[in-house]
């Protein structure tokens, strides 16, 4: 309706493109993003939206180029820097990605997702203390953000702090009971603590939530074998191999 009322309204094309991208009807969404930007070349959100569409289509170079355009169009838009940071991190441009995350957070310091994503990057760079700090800040900003608990637990697991990891995986499950990653992570911690029965139970729950989770099926096979349930373990190995 908005486009029929005003066929030169760039925001209307942007809004429709965003809806089409969610369906997803990517070809029509791309056409609407293009039209929005023809009408308003300074519409940073449209560059971000089109960039994400390019990323979903497996076109990372085109996505990054659009995020560059978004930053140039509106250097005060934190989402433009955040989107470019994600794209750069995906291409292992960690230094440039960190600079963009820092800029996004300078513009929007209370964004829990920004802290979570920067923490993921810092963990990939081997900066465990800084990663934990970012994950903890994300949790303080949004105590229901299960991914932040999962991420902080993963660092604890990397450091051999299995009980601390379990505590965070428990909190992730409280925030999101159907979090398959949390059940998988806790199962792996329990395995390392030689709690094989409980470990197998958690792997099973992870598989109930995500039947395609290969790591959970392989982990359950190992836990079942440690329990002496070799027939069930073999069946799980058969499903993996």
Mean pLDDT, consecutive 10-residue segments, the chain of 241 residues? Answer: 67 95 94 96 97 95 97 98 97 96 98 98 97 98 98 98 98 97 98 98 98 97 98 96 92
Residues in Cβ contact with 34 at an 8 Å cutoff, skipping those fewer than 6 apart: 50
pLDDT of residue 7: 75
Which residue in the block uniquely carries the two structure tokens 């925030």?
A: 175
Per-residue tokens: 30:
């791309």
What's the confidence (pLDDT) of residue 3?
Answer: 54
Q: Look up the pTM and report it.
A: 0.90
Extract the tokens encoding 217.
């099926």
d(CA 36, CA 186): 46
Could you tell me which of 190, 153, 148, 189 has the C-alpha nearest to residue 169? 153
Contact 210, 216 (CB under 8 A): yes
């Amino acid at each position: 309706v908005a486009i029929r009322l005003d066929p030169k309204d760039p925001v209307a094309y942007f809004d429709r493109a965003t809806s089409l991208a969610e369906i997803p009807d990517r070809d029509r969404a791309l056409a609407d993003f293009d039209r929005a930007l023809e009408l308003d070349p300074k519409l940073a959100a449209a560059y971000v939206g089109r960039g994400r569409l390019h990323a979903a289509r497996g076109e990372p170079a085109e996505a990054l180029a659009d995020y560059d355009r978004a930053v140039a169009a509106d250097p005060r838009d934190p989402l433009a820097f955040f989107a470019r940071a994600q794209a750069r991190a995906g291409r292992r441009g960690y230094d440039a990605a960190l600079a963009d995350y820092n800029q996004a957070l300078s513009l929007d310091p209370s964004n829990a997702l920004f802290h979570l994503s920067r923490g993921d990057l810092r963990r990939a760079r081997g900066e465990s203390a800084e990663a934990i700090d970012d994950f903890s800040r994300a949790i303080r900003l949004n105590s229901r953000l299960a991914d932040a608990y999962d991420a902080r637990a993963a660092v604890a697991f990397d450091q051999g702090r299995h009980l601390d990891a379990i505590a965070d995986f428990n909190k992730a499950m409280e925030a999101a009971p159907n979090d398959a990653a949390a059940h998988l992570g806790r199962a792996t911690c329990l395995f390392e603590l030689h709690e094989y029965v409980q470990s197998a139970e958690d792997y099973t729950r992870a598989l109930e939530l995500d039947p395609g989770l290969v790591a959970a099926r392989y982990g359950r096979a190992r836990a079942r074998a440690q329990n002496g349930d070799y027939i069930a373990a073999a069946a799980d190995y058969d499903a993996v191999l």
